[in-house]
Every structure is written in structure tokens, then in C-alpha cells.
Homo-oligomer: A and B are copies of this chain.
Amino acid sequence: MTAHPTESSARKTELIINAAHQQFSRYGFFKVTMDEIAEQAGMGKASLYYYFPTKERLFEAVVLNEQRKFLDCVEMIVKKNITASEKLRQYVQLRFEYFNKIVTLNVSEVRSSTKMKPILRKLFDIVSAQELEVINGFIREGKKLGEFHIRSAEVAARVFQHALHGLRILYRRRMEDVDEAERNFEPLREEMTELAEVYLRGISRAN
């Protein structure tokens, strides 16, 4: 029997993750202390360490939480009964939303930390691999159904993924100098969308 029987261990971790997310997105990874997160979560610092071994792992959990939500939505699209082109279009929109969420966590800043670098690398490599698999699936599906006409689905998928990724990096860099409150990534969404349209046309069977 626990002290707060209404909150299981899983709910506690969720509580902590939310508190951490709030603090991290507001002040950035380095400016936030574990004591502050603990206070935000309404408990002592040592309690945090009961659930998370290090500050880095806590941050990782925050990111993982977002990734999980994103990947769940991706699965929804995969299962939909629509054309491959339409799936790719919807995926691009979803990917932009996910990017927007991650941006607020200032991940690029955290990347400068020696400790965090390999952890983040691993995290994003996993999502990147899954993303590639998903895009690949869309394109293979479209190829099979005669919607697309391409030599290699693998190449087409990878280039498309990289082009989208490149656009995101480009815009993130462009926004570095801009005041945080003024940042607007809508132009990025438009370019991602436009690129997708042209790319889809480029791999579509001529008709």
C-alpha cells in the first residue's frame, strides 16, 4: 500500500516527465536543475532519482514520450485505406508537427553536451530508421499498385527522407538568430508540402 494509492508508479513517472518537459522547454536542459524539476513535480530531488538514474535519462524519457506519440500517429496513417500518395502527404504534415514539438525542447542545444550526444544520436537514429521504413513502405506499396514508377524504392525513399530532413535543419538554422517568440516555421511546412507534391509527381507513373 503506497502513500498515494491514487497514483501508481507509472503515473508518477508520467508526472515527473511532464514536469521535466515543462521546465526543459521553458529554460533549456542546462539551465534547469534537478531540484527545480523536483519542486515542479511536487516532490524531493531524491525521489526523482528513484525513477530516473540521471538527468540525461530523464531528458531522454521526455523525448521518448514525444517520439512514442508521434510513432503511434504514424501507425494510424500506415493502416489507413487511402492511396500511397495520400499517405505520404499526410505523413509529411504529421512529421512537421512532430518537428515543431521537438524544436521547443531545444534539442540542438543539448546536442553540444558530450554526455547527451550519443544518447540523442541513438534516439533519433531509431526514429530515423523507422521513418525510412515507413516511407519505404509507402513507396513500395505505391510501386506495387502501379501508382509509382521508379527504379529503386529504397533510393527514392532515402533521398526523400534526406531532403525533408535537410529542409528542417535549414530552417532550424535560419531561426537561430530569430527571437524565440518570433519564430515561425509555417514557411517550412509549405516547402515540405511543395517538395512532397513535386516529388510525388516525379515518382508517379506518367499518365
Q: Interface on A for B, CB 8 Å cutoff?
A: 155-156, 158-159, 162-163, 165-170, 173, 191, 194-195, 197-203, 206-207
Contact = CB atoms under 8 A, between A and B. Distances in A.
A126 to B, nearest CB: 17
Contacts of A206: 206-207
Contacts of A159: 191, 194-195, 198
Contacts of A200: 202
Given A198-B156, A201-B201, A167 B163 contact: yes
Given A166-B168, A198-B203, 20 more contacts: A156-B198, A159-B191, A159-B194, A162-B170, A163-B166, A163-B195, A165-B166, A165-B170, A166-B166, A166-B167, A166-B169, A166-B170, A197-B202, A198-B199, A199-B199, A199-B202, A200-B202, A201-B201, A201-B202, A202-B202
12 contacts: A155-B194, A156-B198, A158-B191, A159-B191, A162-B170, A166-B167, A169-B169, A169-B170, A197-B202, A198-B199, A199-B202, A202-B202
Contacts of A165: 166, 170
Contacts of A197: 202
Q: Nearest 3 CB-CB pairs, A to B?
A: A166-B166, A202-B202, A198-B202
A120 to B, nearest CB: 13
A167 B162 contact: yes
A199 B203 CA distance: 9
Q: Give the copy number.
A: 2
Nearest to A158: B191
A69 B207 CA distance: 43
Q: Of A163, A165, A195, A206, which is in contact with the most chain B CB atoms at under 10 Å from its CB?
A: A163
Nearest to A198: B202
A200 B199 CA distance: 9
A109 to B, nearest CB: 14
A198 B158 CA distance: 13
A41 to B, nearest CB: 35
